[in-house]
Structure 1
Amino acid sequence: MAGLGEHITAMVRSHASGDDSAFYSLALQVAAREAKRGHHVLASDIKKAVDSSRDRAPLGTVTPMSQPRGELAELVEETHPAVRLRELVAPAGLVAQIKQVLAEQRQRKNLLDHGFAPAHRLLLEGPPGTGKTMTAAVLATELSLPMYTIRLDSLLSKFMGETASKLRLVFDAVARTRAIYLFDEFDALGADRAGNDVGEARRILNSFLVFLEEASPESLVLAATNHRTILDKALFRRFDAVLTYTLPDARQAVSVIRARLGSLASGTSLAKLGEYTADLSHAELVKAAESAAKSVLMRGEAHVGRDDLVTALNARRTASLG
């Protein structure tokens, strides 16, 4: 009941301040909470009341884009990406998972009306530079939402002793402002720790798990990690889906390179580059392509040759190995 009481208190405050957007978001969060407990009729009635109230809103009323303010502005970085799903080079299975998340979000009203919450808590795990942050940008673009990035390592170091209260501020925003919320460098919080800080770390992690469990389905909460194996096992069941990222295979590597070079790759054979692209991430392939392109352009030429690419790829491989 304590959680419900907090929601009601926040609703009263938002109503008193005239913040209709926050009031409706909190009401929908209560509806999702009740649906999860099996109270589907009550959840449906709350959702219908919200929809009806929104429909009666005065014509011409425009809800301004919410900007991070005060303490929240210190915790998040706001961006407005423009990255389409077709630009993401990934295995078919991963793309299918992302499409499913988009479909559920686009049908969230229908799902919530029937007592089901759309997938909105995602764990993104895999090596650096393989598309985790890009996926967050894709979701923001495809759903026409702003993206807020929370860097947990800096949050933990800058606000030592206040981390739990700062996390509450972020999750209050999750309920208030529909957006993509990316908890980057999640290892800093989710690691299965041992040592002198274990007590504080456990308290912070437990707070995060509580907030995540009750996160509003109106927003998407994403956690990105490079090290799945060190994460606390309690985390996995709290997410609606786990998206796994891997280094690109030879075919995907060529797609990444060709997409970055565009017309500069016209007429250039990119076949059989596997021995040069092996063990390179998407981000490293992009950097190699950019390096080759700049060398060509500075020579006054209009096309990147195979030798230019091989040289750039070898340089990236040397740098990554050493």
Structure 2
Amino acid sequence: MAAAEQIKSLIKSFGDGDESRFFATAMQIAASEARKGHTTFAQELKSLIEKAKKGRSETIVDRGKTISISGPKRELNDLIEVFHPKIKLNDMVLDEHVKMSLTRVVQEQRKIELLRKHNLTPRRKLLLTGLPGCGKTMTAQALAGELGLAVFIIRLDGLISKFMGESIAKLRMIFDSMEDHRGVYLFDEFDSIGTHRDQGQDVGEIKRVLNSFLINIEKDQSNSIVISATNLPESLDKALFRRFDDIIRYPLPDVGEIKKVLKKNLSGFSLSTSTSVDKIAKEAVGLSYSDIVRACEEAIKEMIIMGKSKIPVSALLTSIEKRKQ
């Protein structure tokens, strides 16, 4: 059975709402059982952990009430995914300049009433740019976690309609929702609607949606945070950039940041050889944060499946190399 300290850690992390620590401790218990030869039980635990991660959902609370989009806006249930994250900025490994920008957003949001008394507007319209896996989507969750708000993820594929005018009406409803329910609204993969209006192929409903977005974000005076995230900033219409209070660019992690990601995701485990984290980090240069996290998870799985007591460095390096290809 699991050690007493692991059980205490499991209960404490659950009580604190520390999801990442909860899953990490559960994985440690699975690894411990595998080392004892209880491979079937260890595999069952691993499967349960993966299933829990995949299907994780939480009750949404806004000012002590369950959020529901009803009445004339019930159509938004098919357009918006809503949840209440627990992660904070300190749970993320970020470039120093990115972290400073996000910290300033949080500070201004926490002083929103004071700033408005002086006729000043806090930063709340953000454009996040960078390669996939560098933390843009997680940033929306972390900002919401810092401010105790819900995250509203807009499904852009459900926004575009073949019927003229319907997409614009849906977009207007989303901006109306920002007034009714303060939260962090994320338009992910924004380049799908934010492309240059003068591009030959950009015709019809998408162009109309872009024009409508420009009008709505310009007029929006709600207390919600509006985030647009894109992997392709060069494809965005230039008129978009001046609509945002801040443009935050996410670089790939450097060696120092990679070391932090490795230590965070491998904490509680030992490596099979004396290979330094510095050496492993250098091998991972060029990968995104999410790629490095997945490489760590693959190595931990290998340890559990093979019934080993330490993470095979060879498996970790192989996983890193595969993700570079």
User: TM-score, normalised on structure 2?
Assistant: 0.74
Residue deviations 1:156-196 (CA, integer Å, cap 9, x gap): 25776411110001000001111000001100111114235
Report whether the alignment pairs 1:139 with 2:143: yes
Partners of 1:106 and 1:87 in 2: CA distance:
19
Partners of 1:159 and 1:75 in 2: CA distance:
16
Following superposition, the deviation at residue 116 of structure 1 comes to 0.8
- Name the residue aligned to 2:44: none
Partners of 1:279 and 1:237 in 2: CA distance:
31
- Name the residue aligned to 1:165: 169
Equivalent residues in 2 for 1:172-251 (5 A)?
172-193=176-197, 194-195=199-200, 197-251=202-256
- Name the residue aligned to 2:69: 68
Per the alignment, in what secondary structure is the counterpart of residue 277 of structure 2? coil
Residue deviations 1:102-147 (CA, integer Å, cap 9, x gap): 0000000000111111111000011001000010010010101010
- Name the residue aligned to 1:79: 83
Per the alignment, in what secondary structure is the counterpart of residue 193 of structure 2? helix
Following superposition, the deviation at residue 243 of structure 1 comes to 0.8
Q: Is the 8 A contact 1:127 1:247 kept in 2?
A: yes
Q: Is the 8 A contact 1:136 1:222 kept in 2?
A: yes
Following superposition, the deviation at residue 211 of structure 1 comes to 0.9
Q: Residue 316 and residue 271 in structure 1: after superposition, are their counterparts in 2 closer, same or farther (change >3 A)?
A: same
Q: Is the 8 A contact 2:134 2:290 kept in 1?
A: yes
**Amino acid paired to 1:64:** K
Please, which of 298, 315, 320 is the counterpart of residue 308 of structure 1?
315
**Amino acid paired to 1:224:** A
Please, which of 260, 263, 266 is the counterpart of residue 265 of structure 2?
260
Q: Residue 71 and residue 240 in structure 1: after superposition, are their counterparts in 2 closer, same or farther (change >3 A)?
A: same
Per the alignment, in what secondary structure is the counterpart of residue 311 of structure 2? coil
Q: Residue 201 and residue 286 in structure 1: after superposition, are their counterparts in 2 closer, same or farther (change >3 A)?
A: same
Deviates further, 179-188 or 267-276: 267-276
Partners of 2:164 and 2:311 in 1: CA distance:
50
- Name the residue aligned to 1:12: none
Per the alignment, in what secondary structure is the counterpart of residue 204 of structure 1? helix
Partners of 2:142 and 2:295 in 1: CA distance:
23
Partners of 2:275 and 2:304 in 1: CA distance:
15
Report whether the alignment pairs 1:295 with 2:302: yes
Please, which of 286, 291, 296 is the counterpart of residue 293 of structure 2?
286
Q: Is the 8 A contact 1:68 1:76 kept in 2?
A: no
Partners of 1:133 and 1:119 in 2: CA distance:
18
Q: Residue 287 and residue 114 in structure 1: after superposition, are their counterparts in 2 closer, same or farther (change >3 A)?
A: same
Residue deviations 1:196-231 (CA, integer Å, cap 9, x gap): 543543322121111111223411000000000010
Per the alignment, in what secondary structure is the counterpart of residue 69 of structure 2? coil
User: TM-score, normalised on structure 1?
Assistant: 0.75
Partners of 2:299 and 2:150 in 1: CA distance:
33
Q: Is the 8 A contact 2:196 2:202 kept in 1?
A: no
Residue deviations 1:214-268 (CA, integer Å, cap 9, x gap): 2234110000000000100000000000010111112211211221222124786
Pairwise CA RMSD of aligned residues?
A: 1.9
Report whether the alignment pairs 1:93 with 2:97: yes
Partners of 2:188 and 2:120 in 1: CA distance:
27
Partners of 1:290 and 1:255 in 2: CA distance:
15
Partners of 2:218 and 2:251 in 1: CA distance:
28
Per the alignment, in what secondary structure is the counterpart of residue 100 of structure 2? helix
Partners of 1:230 and 1:154 in 2: CA distance:
21
**Amino acid paired to 1:271:** D
Deviates further, 142-151 or 211-220: 211-220
Report whether the alignment pairs 1:105 with 2:106: no
> Any unmatched runs of 5+ in structure 1?
1-61
> How many residues align structurally?
257
Q: Residue 160 and residue 75 in structure 1: after superposition, are their counterparts in 2 closer, same or farther (change >3 A)?
A: farther
Q: Is the 8 A contact 1:268 1:304 kept in 2?
A: no
Partners of 1:123 and 1:159 in 2: CA distance:
29
- Name the residue aligned to 1:156: 160
**Amino acid paired to 1:233:** K
Partners of 2:222 and 2:105 in 1: CA distance:
12
Q: Is the 8 A contact 2:291 2:323 kept in 1?
A: yes
**Amino acid paired to 1:177:** H
**Amino acid paired to 2:308:** E
Per the alignment, in what secondary structure is the counterpart of residue 264 of structure 1? coil
Q: Residue 300 and residue 172 in structure 1: after superposition, are their counterparts in 2 closer, same or farther (change >3 A)?
A: same
Report whether the alignment pairs 1:272 with 2:267: no
